[in-house]
C-alpha cells in the first residue's frame, strides 16, 4: 500500500495524481537502495562495538598420571589449571576504534550520496515525464490540425480547386503527425515506467503527475558554487576514506608490538601445590610488519591522491554543468523573448494566406512544421535548463530547485 501518496481518484476510477513531493517521499521509503544503505549503516556501527571490545580470556586445564622413581610410593595423578588474558596497548585499541569510526563516517556520507542521487534521479525523471507529456500534447494538437487540413484539401481537390499533389502532401504530413503522436505516447509511457521503477511496485502502473517545469529558480554565480565544493558529500566521503587509511597505517605500526598477555595458573602434584603468575610479551625480531606497514602507507598516499582528484573533478564538473545551465538559460530566454511569438505569427500569416488562396498548402505546412519544431526545441531547452541545475544539486549535495508540495 502506497501510504505516502495522496491519491486523487474520481468516481470514474481515474488514474491517481501525484505531486513531486509525494513521489520523492515515496521513493525515500520504498526504493530498495534505501534499505541497503540502512543495513550498511547498522553494519558500520557494529564495527565500532567490535573495535571497543576486549579480547576474551583463555583457560586451559590438564591432568595426567604421576609416577615416582622410588618403589615405596604409589602412583597418583596431577592436574593443572591456567588462565590467560590478552591485553592490547592503548595505541592499538585507539587505532582500531579510529578505523571503525572513520568507516562509520564514510558509510554515512555514502548513505547521504545515495539519497542525493536517488532524489536527483527522481526529480529528473519527474520533469522528463512532464516534458514528454507537453510534447505529446503538442503533437496531438498537430495531428488533429493536420487531419482537418487534410479534409479541407481533399474537399478542394475533389471540386477541382486544388491540384492533386496538395492532397498527396497533406496525406504525407498527416501520416508523419500520426507517427510522431504514437512515438510520443511510447516515450511518455517509457518515462513513467522508469519513474515507477525508482519507487517500487507499490506505485500504481497507471498514474498521472501534477506539476510544471520550473523556470523561476536561478543559480548563484560560479564563484559562490565553487566555495560550496568543500562541503560536498562527494568530497567528504573520500576524505573519510582517507582518514580510515591513515588509521589503518597507525594500526599496522602499532601491531609490531600489539600488547601483552597476563597469565596465572595452579599446578597440583600429589605432594606439592604450585601457583604461577606470568607475563608474555611478543618480541618483534623476525617480523616487524614491514610489508603491512608499507602497504598501508601506499594506501594513504593513494587516498590523498583520490582527494585531490575528486576536488579537481568536482570543480571541472560544476563548471561544465554551470556552462550548460547558462546555455540553456539563454536558449529559453531567446525562445520566450521572440522565437515563439515569431513562429506563431508566421504560422497565423501562412494560415490566413492559405485560407484566402494567396498561398498554397506547402507554405502553410512548412510554417506549421517550423512552429512545431520551435515549440519542441523550447521544451527541450527548458528540460536542459532544469537538468543542468539538478546536476549541480547532485554534485554539491544541496537543494537548488524548490520542491512544491
Residue 160: Cβ within 10 Å count: 7
Tell me what the pLDDT averaged over the chain comes to.
Answer: 85
Backbone φ, ψ for residue 215 (5° rounding): -135, -5
**Range of weakest confidence among 16-30, 316-330, 356-370:** 356-370
Q: pLDDT: is 227 or 359 the higher one?
A: 227
297 has pLDDT over 90: yes
Task: Determine if the pTM surpasses 0.75.
Answer: yes
**Range of weakest confidence among 2-6, 361-365, 391-395:** 2-6
pLDDT value for 68:
63
Among 253, 241, 250, 248, CA closest to 304: 241
17-62+76-281+289-396, superfamily in CATH? Answer: Outer membrane efflux proteins (OEP) (1.20.1600.10)
Give the pLDDT confidence of 211-255 residue by residue, as tens digits.
887 766 678 888 888 888 888 898 999 999 999 999 999 999 988
pLDDT bucket at 1, cuts 50 / 70 / 90: very low
Please give the C-alpha separations between residue 112 and each of 117, 204, 393, in angstroms, as whole numbers. 9, 28, 13
Residues 6 or more apart in contact with residue 193 via CB below 8 angstroms: none
Residues 6 or more apart in contact with residue 119 via CB below 8 angstroms: 24, 27, 28
Give the pLDDT confidence of 25-75 residue by residue, as tens digits.
999 988 888 989 999 999 999 999 998 888 899 999 888 777 766 555 555
- How many Å apart are CA 242 and CA 235, to the nearest integer? 11
Q: Which three cell numbers stand for residue 211?
A: 506539476
Q: pLDDT: is 87 or 75 the higher one?
A: 87
pLDDT value for 5:
37
Domain spans of the chain, in order of start: 17-62+76-281+289-396
Amino acid at each position: 500500500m502506497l501510504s505516502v501518496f495522496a491519491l486523487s481518484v474520481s468516481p470514474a476510477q481515474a488514474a491517481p495524481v501525484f505531486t513531486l513531493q509525494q513521489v520523492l517521499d515515496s521513493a525515500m521509503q520504498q526504493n530498495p537502495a534505501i534499505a541497503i544503505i540502512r543495513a550498511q549503516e547498522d553494519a558500520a556501527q557494529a564495527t565500532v562495538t567490535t573495535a571497543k571490545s576486549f579480547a576474551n580470556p583463555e583457560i586451559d586445564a590438564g591432568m595426567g598420571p604421576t609416577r615416582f622413581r622410588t618403589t615405596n610410593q604409589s602412583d597418583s595423578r596431577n592436574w593443572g589449571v591456567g588462565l590467560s588474558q590478552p591485553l592490547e596497548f592503548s595505541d592499538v585499541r585507539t587505532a582500531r576504534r579510529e578505523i571503525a569510526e572513520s568507516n562509520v563516517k564514510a558509510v554515512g556520507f555514502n548513505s547521504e550520496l545515495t539519497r542525493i542521487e536517488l532524489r536527483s534521479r527522481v526529480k529528473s525523471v519527474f520533469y522528463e515525464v512532464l516534458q514528454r507529456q507537453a510534447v505529446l500534447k503538442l503533437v496531438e494538437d498537430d495531428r488533429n490540425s493536420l487531419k482537418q487540413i487534410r479534409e479541407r484539401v481533399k474537399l478542394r481537390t475533389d471540386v477541382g480547386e486544388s491540384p492533386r499533389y496538395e492532397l498527396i502532401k497533406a496525406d504525407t504530413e498527416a501520416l508523419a503527425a500520426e507517427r510522431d503522436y504514437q512515438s510520443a505516447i511510447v516515450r511518455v509511457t517509457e518515462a513513467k515506467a522508469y519513474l515507477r521503477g525508482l519507487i517500487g511496485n507499490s506505485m500504481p502502473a497507471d498514474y498521472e503527475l501534477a506539476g510544471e517545469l520550473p523556470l523561476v529558480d536561478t543559480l548563484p554565480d560560479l564563484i559562490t558554487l565553487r566555495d560550496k565544493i568543500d562541503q560536498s558529500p562527494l568530497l567528504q566521503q573520500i576524505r573519510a576514506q582517507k582518514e580510515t587509511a591513515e588509521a589503518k597505517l597507525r594500526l599496522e605500526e602499532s601491531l609490531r608490538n600489539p600488547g601483552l598477555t597476563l597469565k596465572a595458573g595452579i599446578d597440583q602434584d600429589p605432594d606439592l601445590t604450585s601457583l604461577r603468575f606470568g607475563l608474555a610479551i611478543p618480541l618483534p625480531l623476525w617480523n616487524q610488519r614491514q610489508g603491512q606497514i608499507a602497504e598501508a602507507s601506499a594506501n594513504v598516499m593513494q587516498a590523498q591522491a583520490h582527494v585531490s582528484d575528486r576536488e579537481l573533478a568536482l570543480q571541472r564538473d560544476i563548471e561544465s554543468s554551470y556552462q550548460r545551465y547558462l546555455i540553456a538559460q539563454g536558449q529559453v530566454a531567446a525562445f520566450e523573448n521572440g522565437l515563439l511569438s515569431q513562429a506563431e505569427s508566421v504560422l497565423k500569416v501562412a494560415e490566413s494566406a492559405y485560407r484566402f488562396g494567396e498561398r498554397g498548402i506547402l507554405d502553410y505546412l512548412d510554417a506549421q512544421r517550423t512552429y512545431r519544431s520551435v515549440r519542441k526545441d523550447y521544451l527541450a531547452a527548458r528540460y536542459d535548463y532544469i537538468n543542468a541545475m539538478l546536476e549541480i544539486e547532485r554534485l554539491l549535495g544541496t537543494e537548488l530547485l524548490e520542491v512544491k508540495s
